[in-house]
Chain A
């Protein structure tokens, strides 16, 4: 059974940094792209970014709202993907989900999410 487990969320002040982790099991992790998606409290879903696989040079792409502040990386030896968030803003407050990208396209597995609160 595929499981994605996020960790690292918490309360951080504006301008601060946080690193989220997502540990995967039950899949050949290195075969898949991994995306991060977030959801502000009571709001809709927002794509944050993507990390491709080794075959595609671990290439990344980001939403405009986080580009230059957030960095996605992965360690296939640890079956993990990471989201480094710098220069955090109050509008980054959200539940952050990691997702498995199926066929380079849609999300067939989601983690349970980790809450990031940016507040002074």
Chain B
């Protein structure tokens, strides 16, 4: 099975800060990676698919990139509504594993 790791597990940043979350796959998954945002008490929402394609309606301050088996989610200017846990997911092959999540809050 492909294992997904994320770092950091949590972070605290100020409004307006640039925030970067990293996801690493245990083996190559090409660009078959998605990012989801889960606000507290809410249902997960798709942010990015194919490693760097922004889903419809997602603010442009969110972006994704890939380098080998490392993937990055960047929030260019953190907003209060971005307080959430962010999960990456491999959809290259079954089982379609998720990363453990990165909790983002406001300092």
Contact = CB atoms under 8 A, between A and B. Distances in A.
Interface string B1-26: 10000000000000000000000000
B95 A64 contact: yes
Contacts of A61: 94
Contact of A105 (B32, B43, B87): B32
A36 to B, nearest CB: 11
Say whether chain A's binding surface is mostly helix, strand, loop, or mixed. Answer: strand
Contact of B87 (A44, A110, A112): A44
B55 interface: yes
Interface residues of B, number: 21
Interface residues of A, number: 19
A108 B97 CA distance: 16
Interface string A38-52: 000000111100100
A110 B44 contact: yes
A106 B94 contact: no
B45 interface: yes
Contact of A47 (B46, B96, B99): B96
A47 B98 contact: yes
